[in-house]
Amino acid sequence: MDVKRLRHDSWADNSKFMAERVIPLVDHRTAALPVPQAPATLPSGVLRDARGRPLRDLRISVTDRCNFRCAYCMPKEVFDSRHAWLPQAALLNFEEITRLARLFVARGVGKLRLTGGEPLLRKGLEALIAQLAALRTPAGRPLDITLTTNGSLLARKARALKAAGLERVTVSLDALDDAVFRRMNDADFPVADVLAGIEAAQAAGLTPVKVNMVVKRGVNDDQIVAMARRFRGSGVTLRFIEYMDVGATNGWRMDEVLPSAEVLRRLQAEYALVALQASAPGETAERWGYAAADGRHDPALGEVGFISSVTQAFCGDCNRARLSMDGKLFLCLFAGQGYDLRALLRGGADDERIDAALVAIWQGRADRYSELRASHSSDAARGRRVEMSYIGG
């Protein structure tokens, strides 16, 4: 099977980043970019940025806290007992989140994803989901409301989340082997409880469930085939994510990145796979389906996905914005600063003023970090980036 679609010609150019680095934590929660001046005449309908990309997807972080300490996201040596979490008053309340979401929906957003930290740690989250589920697009359609979770609390909350209006869940799971999984979450949390959460989500109708596996070379890459075997034919879509240089605290090194092309080759040694079309414009995952004996995709066997931000940038059709739990709007997962919408909300701005700010911010967006990564010769050139735990994955 041809794997050229998962090859990046600049892979060798990144070898200069292989040396181990120690980077201090930079607190991005206090600084914000100034909101740009709105155009004299506001456009109607869907917004497009400076590269013609529409605004379709809003990812909303509801908490900076998490009960895991995964090294690639919230390493324990940084996020320890001395770490200063945001106070409750700093977080957007549910009414503020819903107000902003309504304005984003009016500008073309049709999908809302709740993230963290670990979003299920946010008290009363079901009430927020119910508020968001009541929103409608300008055409009167309901929104696609999803949630990404580590699965630790999912077994006990799945039914209530579904009842509140949540459509689907994505569960982070980096290994099936319990010892490997406990080392990776660094909180001694058992894999069995996450698997129970996945089963509870399926039983509650939060489907199709997706499982995201961050692959680190030499850490959990021996789990690739086992994960595929576990979820093949189960109704769960497994997606492999290249270890990314998000934030400044995870000690990212290029030699720990296992390219998606290599993951695909390992899977093809066990299973016949066929390339599938993208499920939607701006889809981050490249899809491959399990083939039946006739060589065609068998939907009953399911599919796998590859999210390859390091070796195969997908900036060209990225249609996502990210809202932090304290109301800063980020235009890229690898951004260094966001725009402070909370200041507008709490400063008395009306909807028209906030909408004008959204227009100005999105129309000025030209972010394409992953496409430029290979040309950056140093961490200083790449710039300081916001932590993934602050704006969600």
Tens-level pLDDT at each residue, the chain (393 residues): 444 444 443 333 343 333 333 334 445 565 788 888 888 788 888 899 999 999 999 999 999 999 999 888 888 888 888 888 899 999 999 999 999 999 999 999 999 999 999 999 999 999 999 999 999 999 999 999 999 999 999 999 999 999 999 999 999 999 999 999 999 999 999 999 999 999 999 999 999 999 999 999 999 999 999 999 999 999 999 999 998 766 565 656 787 899 999 999 999 999 999 999 988 877 788 999 999 999 999 999 999 999 988 888 778 888 999 999 999 999 988 787 899 999 999 999 999 999 999 999 999 998 877 767 655 544 444 556 667 667 776
How far, in Å, CA of 325 to CA of 300, rounded? 38
Q: Which helix (H) or strand (E) holds 58?
A: strand 57-61
Cα dist from 54 to 169, 284, 324, 347, 363, whole Å = 24, 15, 20, 28, 9
Decide: 236 and 211 in contact? Cβ < 8 Å. Answer: yes
Domains present along the chain, CATH in parentheses: 54-391 (3.20.20.70)
> In this predicted structure, what is the pLDDT of residue 279?
82
| Closest listed residue to residue 62, CA positions, set 117, 104, 101 | 117
Tokens of 78: 């940084």
Residue 110: strand, helix, or coil: coil
Residue 7: strand, helix, or coil: coil
Tokens of 392: 């969600």
> In this predicted structure, what is the pLDDT of residue 9?
38
Strands 111-115 and 144-149, by their bridges, are: parallel
Mind spelling out the 3-state secondary structure of 311-368?
Answer: CCCCHHHCCEEEECCCCEEECCCCCCCCEEHHHHHHCCCCHHHHHHHHHHHHHCCCCC
